[in-house]
């Protein structure tokens, strides 16, 4: 398996500008050039039953279609009192505004029953079929209402143990403590270990 420094150009299997910016920060200094997924590449189906399965499927599809190594992630929020809902369906369970709709669904939950976590899996695949997957998570809870102006997705309603939402922390702190940052560090560590 190549060391991460041997990767020059990598396709990021997303068209989400927030994710592209976050991945560029997470990989600053790694020597990788990240390319957004070309518009003519169809998105891979996200029908796996785990974050890892979805991330791997997206990375493999993008690597095969582009002929370049490809990174992909799958992530979600899991609310304990809702049985882990929405989980791997976090991006696809509603046609409305997912954070607002999740707060509506959880509106009757008292503060002590609003525990939640954000989880992410990141996969790096090569056109020849090799693939490395790593995961990360962060514990917290659902805020009573959206707060903050940074980040994207569920960041405005995911409350950290100190009471701030993920959208109220700066980029550098978010990259250090959040699920996607933890998954990326685990992926880079796995690449170093296999190259070792």
Catalytic residues: 74
- Alpha-helix residue ranges (DSSP H) falling in the chain: 17-26, 51-66, 98-105, 171-177, 179-195
Q: In terms of Cα–Cα distance, which of 89, 69, 66, 45 is closest to 187?
A: 69
113: left (phi over 0), alpha (psi -120 to 50) or beta: alpha
Which tokens is 7 given? Answer: 């990767």
Q: Is the dihedral of CA 98, 100, 101, 102 positive or negative?
A: positive
Q: What angle do CA 92, 16, 12 make, to 5 degrees?
A: 110
Distance CA 68, CA 9 (A): 7
> What's the maximum distance between 2 C-alpha atoms anywhere in the chain?
51
For 122, the enclosing helix (H) or strand (E) is strand 115-125
Contacts 24+ apart (CB under 8 A), 94-98: 98/153, 98/154
């Amino acid at each position: 398996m190549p060391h991460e420094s041997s990767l020059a150009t990598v396709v990021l299997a997303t068209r989400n500008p927030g994710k592209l910016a976050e991945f560029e920060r997470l990989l600053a200094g790694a020597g990788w050039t990240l390319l957004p997924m070309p518009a003519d590449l169809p998105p891979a189906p996200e029908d796996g039953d785990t974050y890892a399965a979805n991330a791997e499927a997206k990375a493999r599809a993008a690597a095969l279609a582009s002929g370049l190594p490809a990174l992909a992630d799958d992530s979600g929020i899991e609310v304990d009192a809702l049985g882990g809902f929405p989980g791997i369906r976090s991006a696809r369970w509603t046609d409305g505004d997912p954070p607002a709709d999740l707060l509506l669904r959880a509106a009757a939950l008292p503060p002590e029953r609003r525990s939640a976590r954000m989880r992410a899996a990141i996969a790096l695949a090569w056109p020849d079929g090799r693939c490395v997957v790593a995961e990360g998570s962060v514990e917290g809870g659902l805020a009573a209402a959206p707060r903050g102006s940074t980040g994207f997705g569920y960041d405005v309603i995911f409350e950290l143990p100190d009471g701030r939402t993920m959208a109220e922390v700066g980029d550098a702190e978010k990259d250090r403590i959040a699920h996607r940052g933890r998954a990326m560090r685990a992926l880079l560590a796995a690449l170093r270990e296999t190259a070792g």
